[in-house]
Chains A and B, each alone.
Chain A
Amino acid sequence: MTRDRSTAAPTEREPTGKIGHGMSAVIIPVVSLAVFLSTWEAIIHFGRIEPFIFPAPSKVAVALWSDLTNPDYWQALSITLTEILVGFAAGASLGIGLGTLLALSRIMDRILYPYVVAFQSIPKVAIAPLMIVWFGFGIESKILIVALTAMFPVLVNTITGLRSTDGDRLDLLHGLCASRLQTLRYVQFPHAMPYIFAGLNTAIVFAVIGAIVGEFVGARRGLGVVILKANFALDLAAVFSSLVVLAVIGVCLNAAVRAVEHRVCFWSGKKG
């Protein structure tokens, strides 16, 4: 019997030919990336496409290197990352908290839910300029924008998760004289976890978008500002370099959320 199924389950009982599978899982992407990059390089090189129209991958690599060796770039990166992480944490907490409130209280639901729906249908980037007006060009306005964009997927999924708790399980807790809080703790929250994590997965992507859009709209520092400046200077290699950095950030953050999800919701996908 394995206790830690989170690590044991996926590797158990896979079809034969697993090694060949694992190898091709590495080789195919590497080869295709190499083919893709060399084709790109070749087209730019032999097609004589100007670097301010579309940069060659070699130029992007050079720009990436000079970015990553520049302390100022790291400072911009850390500002944007802070906006993303703090905003995401705030938005996720708000989403879970407010979602719990709405899921548990009929009255709060009646009062607040219409506003939630109305607010949700507003594209959050549309209120970014307002945030700049109200909270200035500093990091705070960006954190707020990120928090707002990240909050809604978490909020909606928290409500759905808490509401979809099986009636039998609620009866079980009710029959044991459980309080509202105990029911929440022992049954509803664990049950809602996979839903909440689905929301968090969306929210982390939204958080990156929110931070960059926020910086586009109004900021003095950050990766968004770096991109804008490079764009104005027609230094497309630098723009692409930052896009690569953003992609890496997005992939890493998403992987981090999934890793936590895997630990927390180790039981999900299995019946009880």
Chain B
Amino acid sequence: MTGSIAALPAAAPQASAGPATLDIRNLSLTYKTSTREVLAIRNLSLSVQAGEFVSIVGPSGCGKSSLLKIVYGLVAASTGSVTMSGTPVTGPRRDIGMVFQAPVLLPWRTILENVLLPADVLKLDRDAMRTRAHDLLEMVGLKGFEHVYPDELSGGMQQRAGIVRALIHDPKLLLMDEPFAALDALTREQMALELQRIWMSSGKTVLFVTHSISEAVLLSDRIVLMSARPGTLLAEYETPRERPRSFDDLSSPRMAELSKAIRRGLNEASTRHDAR
């Protein structure tokens, strides 16, 4: 459980150049359906530094998932741009990993095969990937479950496999869309601590969407608050530098103050939405 990703074999030659920076400029997104147009995101700008852990909080339906999908290259922005380490993101790219809200494991593949899916699709060296997969699975506590099918695992274990799958090809940027939302409170806290450890040992840039303020405060260097739809940036909160953090640390005066401020901001953002 103490392995460090830095010591693992690099996934692919082109992916070894360290964490990415992310620059989101004046982003807007309009969903066009046959009956109406929905402005989901309006003029959102956000910069993420290399190796930074940034969380996004905001009222439900404010466009957080949409934002991640744009960064991941699944959805095209209506206006504005996303630039990753200097190159514009115009479609899916191999150096971004995504953890979905649901684990989205394929039931006909074992855990190991599921985790190796990116390696198969990207045609990476299978033996090196296998070694890496075993190391990563061990790190998230899934050793011994390599040849088990997903439906034999608990929700938390499935989600951990999902995280390993996102990390397998050593992406420079990790996107996580409420990855722990489906878990019980206790598992959720354990997973957050595990993620903190993974992030600290890998030094990846992470963009993390959550509804949990304590999760955001525990994990993030910076927390950004989005307004109700159409989503735009309302506020940013810096957390103290100390790492690693535990959930007990959150009761320190500074952290408690920060959590309170975020909660207040989130409430305001939500009620403003209700008033319309």
Using a CB–CB cutoff of 8 Å, the interface residues on chain A facing chain B are: 1, 3, 5, 166, 168-169, 171-178, 182, 186-187, 190, 193, 266-268, 270-272
Contacts and interface: CB of A to CB of B under 8 A. Distances in A.
Interface stretch (B38-46, B118-126, B193-201, B265-273): B118-126
B105 A178 contact: no
Contacts of B148: 1
Given A177-B92, A177-B94, A272-B105, 16 more contacts: A168-B102, A171-B100, A171-B104, A174-B74, A175-B72, A175-B92, A175-B96, A177-B121, A186-B117, A193-B108, A266-B108, A267-B107, A267-B151, A270-B151, A272-B106, A272-B151
Nearest to B151: A270
Interface residues of B, number: 29
Query: Does more than half of chain B's interface fall in helix, strand or loop, or is it mixed?
Result: loop
B150 interface: yes
Contacts, number: 69
23 contacts: A1-B145, A1-B148, A169-B104, A172-B100, A174-B92, A175-B92, A176-B122, A177-B121, A178-B121, A186-B120, A186-B121, A187-B106, A190-B106, A193-B108, A267-B107, A267-B108, A267-B151, A270-B151, A271-B107, A271-B151, A272-B108, A272-B150, A272-B151
A7 to B, nearest CB: 14
Contacts of B92: 174-177
A171 B166 CA distance: 13
A177 B74 CA distance: 10
Q: Which of B96, B98, B106, B151 has the most chain A CB within a 10 Å cutoff?
A: B106
A126 B122 CA distance: 50
Contacts of A169: 104, 106
Contacts of A175: 72-74, 92, 96, 98
Given A177-B92, A177-B93, A1 B107 contact: no
